[in-house]
Amino acid sequence: MAKKIGVAILGLGVVGSGTYKTLVDHHDFYLKTQQVDITVEAVLDKDLTKMKELEIPQDIIAKSIEEVVANPNVDIVVETIGGIGAAKDFVTTALREGKTVVTSNKELICKFSHELERIAKRNHCGLYYEASCVGGVPIIRTLLDGLQANTISEMMGIFNGTTNYVLTKMAQEGKSYEAALKEAQALGFAEADPTNDVEGFDSMFKLSILSSIAFHTKVPYTKISREGITKITETDILFGEKLGYALKLLAIGKNTDKGIEVRVHPTFISNTHPLASVNNSFNAVFVKGDAVGDVMLYGHGAGSLPTASAVVSDVLFAATHTDIKYSTFKNTSTAENNVKFVSDFTSAYYVRIFVEDVTGSLAKISGVFSKCGISICAVSQNGTATDGKIELAVITYKTSENAMKNALAKINNSGFGSVQTVIHIEDEPKA
Amino acid sequence: MAKKIGVAILGLGVVGSGTYKTLVDHHDFYLKTQQVDITVEAVLDKDLTKMKELEIPQDIIAKSIEEVVANPNVDIVVETIGGIGAAKDFVTTALREGKTVVTSNKELICKFSHELERIAKRNHCGLYYEASCVGGVPIIRTLLDGLQANTISEMMGIFNGTTNYVLTKMAQEGKSYEAALKEAQALGFAEADPTNDVEGFDSMFKLSILSSIAFHTKVPYTKISREGITKITETDILFGEKLGYALKLLAIGKNTDKGIEVRVHPTFISNTHPLASVNNSFNAVFVKGDAVGDVMLYGHGAGSLPTASAVVSDVLFAATHTDIKYSTFKNTSTAENNVKFVSDFTSAYYVRIFVEDVTGSLAKISGVFSKCGISICAVSQNGTATDGKIELAVITYKTSENAMKNALAKINNSGFGSVQTVIHIEDEPKA
């Protein structure tokens, strides 16, 4: 006998619509392969035109969250509204009524997993959020149930498709940042206000969630050092290519003896690294485990159906695995007392600087780095002089972030140089 | 309170040793992160020197399978013996005694999953085999619990590290097949008798298991068309590179309206395909789902600790998820009556042929293909004449395998040409 499971969907945006379609289209398939008879029992959205577009039957259109949670046929509530306003209230209400919640809401989980988990536990229901991170790529399930034999020392990822699309177009077609972003907006890969993506907030939320799971302790997003891609130029990307680097907006989490180090920033990685060939709007997560070694998962990090794949896989997991109601949280929602976060991490760097085109400029710049305790791996002059200035690209050996900040400030205050771009190198520096 | 779980390990070879070490080294970690107190309660191996090497306590060394299964402290039996002799007897015995089994044995699962599953069901215990396919890469868990919302139309993978190492060395260092194989043997990546790997048997077993799960029906290995890499030369690889192809031994499963199509053979894929940059002994699985689109998992497909990662993750899964004892099998162990298998599939081809160095040879060869209904995309002459012969490389458009077999036989019987290599192209043909 197939188990009957009723689902409610809150919010019929991109992900909610995809979830509705996926559930309806696959009803018979899930009956056959998962032995569950899943039906959508309620749908809630202020925008009634969506209901018409999706041909949603009148009798499952709900008028309020109270109506949804009072419906005894609803076992699982899917939240695809986003943000931390109504979404938070609705999820809280559903959990309080003992409904298992599946959400695609990264900001909600990143900021309130602690509170929501407690409510879920108290009410003996589940809280699942595979779709909150890296779209269709089942990285949360993999960390929880596929790599859980490992202590994870490192996680690096391309968690944002918009920025990866922009950087790919800049690298492959020599486009400027502005032109590539416009193209991404025209194609629907970037929003009209792209701040959330290009400044790294989106990646930051995901890194907080995923590193909490990987490192078995809450990693608050406030501990993540964040930098976007808006200052990157084609020149930087081309220069990196010559040295054998690809430029990616990486989210990086490391768990070492010194503590947990979490950061999001544009990064040069060796072009032989598996992440280097992840292009366009594709995402990927690279994980290092003590037994398994290097593992990478690759796929669509956003989009209606790919994200719906993650939502519905969570729904099916919740529907078929009844004894692990709130197992998605395992030491992830509260920070342990003894966890340290590393703020002054070390990295090799690429620094592009405009200097006066006079004899001795290079020596002066080198002198500043040297005084700050930073060893230079290579310096090269890039292109021709503009306004009496030349462009230097400096590659340093590994140094602390504080030493680098100090050197950059000194150069900018020196009167003979102005720093254009600074990019971390997640690899040995190359000359 | 942590749940107490006792494990027995049968066979202390590469994987068994890694499993023992992983369980012992991570005891406190699993207690903290999984709330299970896992101890190794019994170990069985004829070779007692292994016991000394691993410093296994005398009191857990078992003398027989009967002693292992009679031990009330043993909840889960790990089988890492391999093959279908003792391994099959021991697994059967353990399941009959109601012990959940975790195995890394691809041949056993490929050939006897049907029988073993029935025994597991009857005795209310579980049967897990993540480690049987692609080592540490958690592809089975991903198919079962991360992508289960999708109907999977395609699976392509590099399932064998030995052959991928050999092909990578041939491609990157221009080594001959023989030289690359010797190097792999010296490094321990290939066995003294490499038949199982280089002839594609290993990939075939894995494809049978993984496509059964992906397509929700038993895919017997006898339905898999198989071809190894022994006939590949550096010349072929270089020629493909010029056209923008990488050469990989791919295991391919497709589920289309015509039926299921499963094959293992050397394949040219576009060098922009994510599988193309999977090098050395790394493995990867590429999956196409109807909602999620393209997904790829990448990692170590073999080795002591990577495979132990998969074994122990299964042990932890079995230990923490008690309500899904035999859930690894979902319509995968018996073929449905209405499943069709496609034997005459279509593909584009690369064919390298020695022909007499006389006017009209190219026309004659083209004529044979044409008569067999095969359209040629490009023909090029490769290098200089040897013994009065020249080498032609022919790229065809998509054609049926039977038409190609027919054409190749005609060329070999013609007296003016002899076929050297035939390689499938999993992409549009390129001129």
In this predicted structure, what is the pLDDT of residue B338? 77
Containing B396, the helix (H) or strand (E) segment is strand B389-396
Task: Name every chain B residue with its beta carbon within 8 A of the beta carbon of A18.
Answer: 291
Task: Name every chain A residue with its beta carbon within 8 A of the beta carbon of B136.
Answer: 289, 291-293, 295
Task: Name every chain A residue with its beta carbon within 8 A of the beta carbon of B137.
Answer: 295
Q: Which residues contact A402 (CB under 8 A, 6 or more apart)?
A: A344
Q: How many CB atoms lie within 10 A of CB A256?
A: 12
In this predicted structure, what is the pLDDT of residue A357? 80
Nearest CA in chain A to B298: A296
- Count of A–B CB contacts within 8 Å? 179
Given the structure tokens 């396919």, which residue do they identify?
B133
Task: Name every chain B residue with its beta carbon within 8 A of the beta carbon of A33.
Answer: 148, 216, 330-331
pLDDT of A234 higher than 60 = yes
Cβ of A146 within 8 Å of Cβ of B151? The answer is no
* Confidence band of A322 (pLDDT split at 50, 70, 90): low
* Confidence band of A331 (pLDDT split at 50, 70, 90): low
Cβ of B291 within 8 Å of Cβ of A306? The answer is yes
Q: What is the pLDDT of residues A306-320, one digit of tens each?
A: 999 999 999 999 998
pLDDT of A360 higher than 90 = no
pLDDT tens, chain B, 431 aa long: 789 999 999 999 999 999 999 999 999 999 999 989 999 999 999 999 999 999 999 999 999 999 999 999 999 999 999 999 999 999 999 999 999 999 999 999 999 998 999 899 889 899 999 999 999 999 999 999 999 999 999 999 999 999 999 999 999 999 999 999 999 999 988 899 999 999 999 999 999 999 999 999 999 999 999 999 999 999 999 989 988 999 999 999 999 999 999 999 999 999 989 999 999 999 999 999 999 999 999 999 999 999 999 999 999 999 987 655 554 555 565 666 678 999 888 999 999 999 988 778 888 999 999 999 999 998 888 666 677 788 889 999 999 999 999 999 999 998 888 999 999 999 777 76
Cβ of A29 within 8 Å of Cβ of B294? The answer is no
* Confidence band of A166 (pLDDT split at 50, 70, 90): very high
How many angstroms separate the CA atoms of A288 and A152, rounded?
Answer: 6
Containing A213, the helix (H) or strand (E) segment is helix A201-215
Task: Name every chain B residue with its beta carbon within 8 A of the beta carbon of A26.
Answer: 149, 151
Handedness of CA B346, B348, B352, B355 (dihedral sign): positive
Cβ of A149 within 8 Å of Cβ of B299? The answer is no
The shortest CB-CB distance from B300 to any of A216, A293, A299 is to A293
Task: Give yes or no: B258 in active site.
Answer: no
At A249, which amino acid appears?
A: L
How distant is the Cα of B355 from the closest Cα of chain A, in angstroms?
Answer: 39
Phi-psi sector, B303: left (phi>0), alpha (psi -120 to 50), beta: left
To test the contact with chain A by mutation, choose from B22, B31, B309 the residue with the greatest count of A C-beta atoms within 10 A, namely: B309
Q: Which residues contact A420 (CB under 8 A, 6 or more apart)?
A: A231, A233, A352, A353, A354, A391
ipTM exceeding 0.90?
yes
To test the contact with chain A by mutation, choose from B19, B76, B150 the residue with the greatest count of A C-beta atoms within 10 A, namely: B150
Nearest CA in chain A to B330: A33
Active site residues of A: 206
How distant is the Cα of A148 from the closest Cα of chain B, in angstroms?
Answer: 6
Task: Name every chain A residue with its beta carbon within 8 A of the beta carbon of B126.
Answer: none
Cβ of A141 within 8 Å of Cβ of B137? The answer is no
pLDDT of A329 higher than 90 = no
Exposure string for A331-361, b = 16+ CB within 10 A, e = fewer: bbbebeeeeeebeebebbbbbbbbbbeeeeb
Cβ of A313 within 8 Å of Cβ of B33? The answer is no
Q: Which residues contact A320 (CB under 8 A, 6 or more apart)?
A: A3, A34, A35, A36, B324, B327
For range A66-80, the mean pLDDT:
98
In this predicted structure, what is the pLDDT of residue A381? 81
The shortest CB-CB distance from A306 to any of B32, B293, B320 is to B293
* Confidence band of A385 (pLDDT split at 50, 70, 90): low
In this predicted structure, what is the pLDDT of residue A5? 96
The shortest CB-CB distance from B33 to any of A316, A321, A330 is to A330
Cβ of B147 within 8 Å of Cβ of A22? The answer is no
Q: Are B266 and B132 in contact (CB under 8 A)?
A: no
Q: What string of DSSP letters covers A146-196?
A: TSTTSPEEEEEEE--HHHHHHHHHHHHH---HHHHHHHHHHTTSS-SS-HH
Task: Name every chain A residue with its beta carbon within 8 A of the beta carbon of B330.
Answer: 33-34
What is the pTM (predicted TM-score) of this model?
A: 0.94
Cβ of A136 within 8 Å of Cβ of B317? The answer is no
Handedness of CA B187, B189, B192, B194 (dihedral sign): negative
Catalytic residue among B88, B206, B218, B288: B206
- Name the β-bridge partners of B421: B352
Nearest CA in chain A to B24: A149
Nearest CA in chain B to A323: B323
For range A264-277, the mean pLDDT:
94
How distant is the Cα of A313 from the closest Cα of chain B, in angstroms?
Answer: 5
The shortest CB-CB distance from A309 to any of B292, B299, B309 is to B292
